[in-house]
Structure 1
């Protein structure tokens, strides 16, 4: 009886001891984490305040204190290592741990840099007086110049931070947690950390040329071309408007601005008095007739971007521009589309231009953001050639830049992340005359080239020829079905086009799509179906190209298929590059090899794959 009585007591005692240890293993680290997180938040806010006040000594101290506080958090998280084995919860713990460790690496880099800047704080404009937005840009350029010689010392920290966060799925976090968009906050932090790592490893040349590109020591002028991605063309959209940007030591101003038809009107007037080589390419003659229905007899600047290779199209635009007799009074061309304007206005808030409000709110007239509707409305007015049409783009971009640069310091990381992401996703692209600058931007894949690749390759390029702004609504789904047999590769591509919105006169009409498939040179078409015309085979930019034409009506769908043989003999890996069309939406892609699904994704930027065979 006594033994039976003692056993339950021993079990109870052991259970209590286990629960006590578990409680201690949870509460003690949690207390340390909570305490360290509070200190980290306090010092990070103090660092921001110190920068606003331009107090170098205080800023340096607070960066160091923030690093030390976050290291305490990171150490305390180590004590909860056992949480990793708990389903679901372990995944969230791993994310927190990786963000914490990455933050420590970033702050170590910042702490080191500011210790090196001690003797240069006056030169870096830290004078205990708050800076205006433009002055902050000038200061950042000076800081960048001072940081470059020390980049080797912090590269390992930035790359390590990148590796820690690159696989974190921020989409699984809630978009609304106690009034805060946690998903957006984490996504911004992840992008910023990855961006710093890429800049240190792959973007060093871009950092080196940045001061000169921003007009230090010599002012630069750039031609800004607006491509309307809702009327998609080979390099991102129909060229609608232009503006000239002058940048002097980081200070930006627009000097001229107008719609593209003004330039074409001048070109037409010039070519009445001299012979101009403006014979249109075959696709424009065939698929883009005059309003009267007659074949187009002259090529214009607004249609100059017929090549999907941005440098090729940019050179064609500049050739036409020089016919005006002004040479090339700019140092390069910056291409943007409506996605850029929309996302920047989300940061700045609504902007008024000539009595019209541009905002990111949904406009019921198009079931799209208001800024998109107003830009498309402006494009339509410009196309009609009304004499009193106003030059909207330059004024709009000037106000966006002014509001962004002058925004609170807390918003600057979001602005930088947005610009970098838009460039990565081919909504901002560059064609610079200075070869060193162009080469540096090309390393970041911000220059829109059609690339060479040893392996399988695919680039699908759509051109909306007189189909309204229907690409606002047209969606695509692309399936690649690859078969490998007896060392021979055949591929079937299926594209499903859908436009679920009703007809909208000038906004949503019949999408008239001249579509090209750029594939490895030497590929041979086996069969095809679904298009309005038979596929034609040509060669361009070192690729074999299958071209055709189809129409997609509102509230309708189409499907085209083509099958071809590829001159590629993979061994243990199947290598594939897919290049996204600039300006295009992030369409859905699926890849199968011998019936097995290998990838399912949205094509938001160029991608390379190596699939095991």
Structure 2
């Protein structure tokens, strides 16, 4: 029984490095990159809170902190300590300490400070490993060594007991980073003696050969003269200039410096009496000015103005008699009128103030309303732009060509896509800042996935480049080892797998309950592409261990490419028309040769007994080489071909590849038109079968095949494109790969590549412990001795009724012969059809057209994992025939049981019009369905063109 295995891979390969720019960090980065580790370097002096928040979003493999003496005790060191205090990654701290030399109290104080600092880091940083370098000599600008405390080279040469250089430190750091992490401390030291000439280059800049005393150095003072009055003055100035080492006695000396000239101001006589008088005058003038400019109260101004206006009116308009009368009235009623006037004016003032306040309030309301309207317009514009950009992004995902992997398409690198993703990410961050980080989870995840797709696109382009390099090396077109390229390819594949896993986790965590159909379709499309890419990476990882053997790393190996003509269909893909042997040694092709069936069979002294059904339909007792693919298992076909090759030619294929004419057509479509020199014809994917139909002789197909393979072996770019086609057809079961080594063949069979009748594992979604597998393999053999295969179209309708005790299968196959003539190589399609079903299944009926076949007269046989039923179907030209096959098998229902149905597709057949209907009966209901299906009248409908094996799963309740 064969199984399908998918291996899960996860790797973290990024190291975060805090270090000052220089030769140390450059050497560490170079060494880590040679180990296939990515390096992110952060300058401690430039490390800010914003960078800390940005780094908190990522998880690193390990963190390296180069703690040099220039940042010890600085705010930068405290920022990095606070960052590492909250992290969970393994931390490696690299620093330098002094050796055991007797250097005085200053060195002793430094040792004690370093010890306290390292103990503090060891206590408060989880899982830290401290690597201390004793006397790091060749980095004096970063680390203090014992050389800083010696006055000259000769004393340093006599007193220095140990010293370490950068290359040793870098090697130890890289070794620590790539090994499993452990908490603790380690000192890197090397006990040795040094000569003066060896230490000269590493002396610190401030160390000079001077006497061991404190000198007083004169400082020159330069003074600019004014030109009015100059005098000379002699002075002494001393400045203490201590050296870096400590001495027991200090000798003080004074040195007289050169005489300098500095100006003295000219004498000035001050007239104090005159200055006093000017000040008094200035004070008086200022007092008078302040009194004149003193503000008058508003009430006083209003009264004076009104009274003066009333008095002016009275004086200008009244007659003298009236004036006298007014004066008299004023004397009698002046006070009362004055009170009334004041009251009236007071009311008017109150009304005026109220009107002013009301007007001010209206202005404030209008301003607030204008601001709200402007804010609403702004928010509306931002929301409209967000909706539009979101719609554009989802449309971009949905409108991509499905023939190419989504991550491989160049649209991810266009400026429009990058601008769209960045703008959406910025708006989402702003919205989440005000509303909450949990808002817009669906759109945020899709935008994040789109952003990651840009990175994945770059990674896949790098994979393509490495793949092209490996092909060129195998073809001998490029120097270098293909095995090193394969190793790099594997590391890049693991990085890609990790990136895909992150995106898949993000998208699978989304709730699609409130998404519309368009958004759901976009998310499902990305998930499907990611899952396909993950399967490809996992598959490559499974065969990576065998690639050195396939590429003949240790011994010479041969690859046999078997040409199968699917115009005359056989279970393995078609009639065998020849074998192309390619010899490899040390990862390079050294020889290639094509052999036709006559050369392989030789004198026909090797005979293979034919199966019973083959003898019945061809009336031959021995199996011919061209019919080596009569059986359902391509492994047996490869064994037959290898046996004949070894018997006749003394050589065999260590790796056998079965290729059909359908695959040749796809390769020509991918690599471009093929020119056949012998016939001066140009073949394309459009006229491929038309040319073969015009030249029905087998020699023409062999010529086309050899021309195609020779072109691929000469053109690495086209060979890479052809490998892409072969990889797809391997996954789809259209070509087969068999190894002569049993252990290698077990892996190939587990991947479904060996061409056996497969029974896969239950999907993890259905729980393998409570799951039943139902398999079906439909095989056809053209026994009409013509080449009508390209003219046959198939429409398949398969129905499964699921009961509590039985599974009832009904399969209807409609064969349509589109051949327009009865002349050879066209004509009627005489098909020997076989159905491979599980053991214990009961055949209920077989109907061909209107004829009901007697089940007792059917061809029957047993296989390793089941049984087969066979019968003959005749399809005239321009006609269609329906074949209905019914059978049932046992099914033991229990709560939560899963059913997986695997419909294996035959190699060499075109894309089928396919429909699968699963109908729960007797009260059963589907709880989990994979892949997505339509629901019609309680039935699950999987309606899709079938170009590969169909595998569906349903869990019932």
- Which of 822, 832, 847 aligns to 1:529? It is 847
1:492-547 Cα shifts (integer Å, max 9, x gaps):
11111112341262343211111111111111111221167643333223212111
- Which of 233, 249, 256 aligns to 2:593? It is 256
- Note if 1:427 corresponds to 2:734: yes
1:236-294 Cα shifts (integer Å, max 9, x gaps):
11112221112345544662214324434x2xx242xxxx5433212222223xxxxxx
Report the secondary structure of 2:659's partner residue. Answer: strand
- Which of 678, 687, 691 aligns to 1:374? It is 691
What corresponds to 2:868 in structure 1? 545
- Which of 393, 405, 408 aligns to 2:705? It is 393
Q: Is contact 1:426-1:448 (8 Å) kept?
A: yes
Q: Is contact 1:67-1:104 (8 Å) kept?
A: no
What corresponds to 1:588 in structure 2? 913
Question: Cα distance 1:149–1:351, how it changes in 2: closer, same or farther (>3 A)?
Answer: closer
Whole-Å Cα distance in 1 between the matches of residues 631 and 375 of structure 2?
A: 74
- Note if 1:102 corresponds to 2:453: yes
Question: Cα distance 1:131–1:204, how it changes in 2: closer, same or farther (>3 A)?
Answer: closer
Report the secondary structure of 2:845's partner residue. Answer: strand
Question: Cα distance 1:26–1:589, how it changes in 2: closer, same or farther (>3 A)?
Answer: same
Question: Cα distance 1:25–1:376, how it changes in 2: closer, same or farther (>3 A)?
Answer: same
Whole-Å Cα distance in 1 between the matches of residues 506 and 824 of structure 2?
A: 48
What corresponds to 2:639 in structure 1? 315
Report the secondary structure of 2:545's partner residue. Answer: helix
What corresponds to 1:87 in structure 2? none
Whole-Å Cα distance in 1 between the matches of residues 800 and 528 of structure 2?
A: 33
Gaps of at least 5 residues in structure 2 are 1-363, 393-412, 430-441, 509-517, 519-524, 761-771, 920-937
- Which of 575, 580, 585 aligns to 2:900? It is 575
- Note if 1:220 corresponds to 2:557: yes
Question: Cα distance 1:465–1:108, how it changes in 2: closer, same or farther (>3 A)?
Answer: closer
| Residues 58-137 of structure 1 aligned to structure 2 (within 5 Å) | 74-79=421-426, 98-105=449-456, 107=458, 134-136=476-478
Cα distance, 1:606 vs. partner? 2.4
- Which of 508, 533, 537 aligns to 2:826? It is 508
Q: Is contact 1:243-1:393 (8 Å) kept?
A: no
What corresponds to 1:478 in structure 2? 796
Whole-Å Cα distance in 1 between the matches of residues 604 and 748 of structure 2?
A: 35
What corresponds to 1:50 in structure 2? none
- Note if 1:231 corresponds to 2:568: yes
Q: Is contact 2:799-2:810 (8 Å) kept?
A: yes
Whole-Å Cα distance in 2 between the matches of residues 375 and 249 of structure 1?
A: 38
What corresponds to 1:211 in structure 2? 548
Question: Cα distance 1:390–1:457, how it changes in 2: closer, same or farther (>3 A)?
Answer: closer
Whole-Å Cα distance in 2 between the matches of residues 470 and 94 of structure 1?
A: 51
1:336-371 Cα shifts (integer Å, max 9, x gaps):
11122222222322222323434325xxxxxxx223
Whole-Å Cα distance in 1 between the matches of residues 624 and 378 of structure 2?
A: 79
Q: Is contact 2:786-2:825 (8 Å) kept?
A: yes
Whole-Å Cα distance in 2 between the matches of residues 561 and 225 of structure 1?
A: 34
| Residues 154-553 of structure 1 aligned to structure 2 (within 5 Å) | 155-160=497-502, 196-252=533-589, 255-264=592-601, 266=602, 269-271=603-605, 276-288=606-618, 295-324=619-648, 326-353=649-676, 354-360=678-684, 369-375=686-692, 380-382=696-698, 391-403=703-715, 405-406=716-717, 412=720, 414-452=721-759, 454-503=772-821, 505-530=823-848, 534=854, 535-553=858-876
Gaps of at least 5 residues in structure 1 are 1-5, 35-65, 83-90, 114-120, 167-172, 174-186, 289-294, 362-368
Whole-Å Cα distance in 1 between the matches of residues 369 and 684 of structure 2?
A: 64
Whole-Å Cα distance in 2 between the matches of residues 345 and 78 of structure 1?
A: 43
Q: Which moved more, 1:209-218 or 1:452-461?
A: 209-218
1:4-45 Cα shifts (integer Å, max 9, x gaps):
xx99999998676445334345669999999xxxxxxxxxxx
Whole-Å Cα distance in 1 between the matches of residues 598 and 881 of structure 2?
A: 33
Q: TM-score, normalised by structure 1?
A: 0.70
Whole-Å Cα distance in 2 between the matches of residues 262 and 556 of structure 1?
A: 39
Report the secondary structure of 1:497's partner residue. Answer: strand
Cα distance, 1:217 vs. partner? 4.7
Question: Cα distance 1:27–1:486, how it changes in 2: closer, same or farther (>3 A)?
Answer: closer
Whole-Å Cα distance in 1 between the matches of residues 624 and 455 of structure 2?
A: 54
Cα distance, 1:587 vs. partner? 1.2
Cα distance, 1:570 vs. partner? 4.3
- Note if 1:144 corresponds to 2:486: yes
Report the secondary structure of 2:697's partner residue. Answer: helix
- Note if 1:605 corresponds to 2:955: no
Whole-Å Cα distance in 2 between the matches of residues 441 and 477 of structure 1?
A: 30
Q: Which moved more, 1:301-310 or 1:569-578?
A: 569-578
Structure of greater relative contact order (alpha carbons < 8 Å, 6+ residues apart): 1
Whole-Å Cα distance in 2 between the matches of residues 548 and 468 of structure 1?
A: 19
Report the secondary structure of 2:616's partner residue. Answer: helix
1:277-313 Cα shifts (integer Å, max 9, x gaps):
433212222223xxxxxx2243211111111111122
| Runs of 4+ residues over 6 Å off in structure 1 | 6-16, 28-34, 66-73, 91-97, 108-111, 130-133, 162-166, 189-193
Question: Cα distance 1:131–1:573, how it changes in 2: closer, same or farther (>3 A)?
Answer: closer
1:49-106 Cα shifts (integer Å, max 9, x gaps):
xxxxxxxxxxxxxxxxx89999886554435769xxxxxxxx9999886454233246
Whole-Å Cα distance in 1 between the matches of residues 836 and 487 of structure 2?
A: 41
Question: Cα distance 1:374–1:108, how it changes in 2: closer, same or farther (>3 A)?
Answer: closer
Whole-Å Cα distance in 2 between the matches of residues 514 and 94 of structure 1?
A: 53
Whole-Å Cα distance in 1 between the matches of residues 868 and 365 of structure 2?
A: 81
Tell me the C-alpha RMSD between the 2 structures.
4.6
Whole-Å Cα distance in 1 between the matches of residues 941 and 613 of structure 2?
A: 35
Cα distance, 1:589 vs. partner? 2.3
Cα distance, 1:486 vs. partner? 4.4
Whole-Å Cα distance in 1 between the matches of residues 867 and 755 of structure 2?
A: 19
Q: TM-score, normalised by structure 2?
A: 0.47
Q: Is contact 1:229-1:337 (8 Å) kept?
A: yes
Q: Which moved more, 1:139-148 or 1:232-241?
A: 139-148
Whole-Å Cα distance in 2 between the matches of residues 157 and 331 of structure 1?
A: 36
Question: Cα distance 1:132–1:437, how it changes in 2: closer, same or farther (>3 A)?
Answer: closer
Whole-Å Cα distance in 2 between the matches of residues 138 and 400 of structure 1?
A: 20
Q: Is contact 2:613-2:859 (8 Å) kept?
A: no
Whole-Å Cα distance in 2 between the matches of residues 563 and 229 of structure 1?
A: 28
Cα distance, 1:548 vs. partner? 0.8
- Note if 1:20 corresponds to 2:363: no
Q: Which has the larger radius of gyration?
A: 2
Whole-Å Cα distance in 1 between the matches of residues 469 and 868 of structure 2?
A: 55
Report the secondary structure of 2:547's partner residue. Answer: helix
Report the secondary structure of 2:630's partner residue. Answer: coil
Whole-Å Cα distance in 1 between the matches of residues 804 and 529 of structure 2?
A: 46
Whole-Å Cα distance in 1 between the matches of residues 630 and 452 of structure 2?
A: 47
Cα distance, 1:165 vs. partner? 10
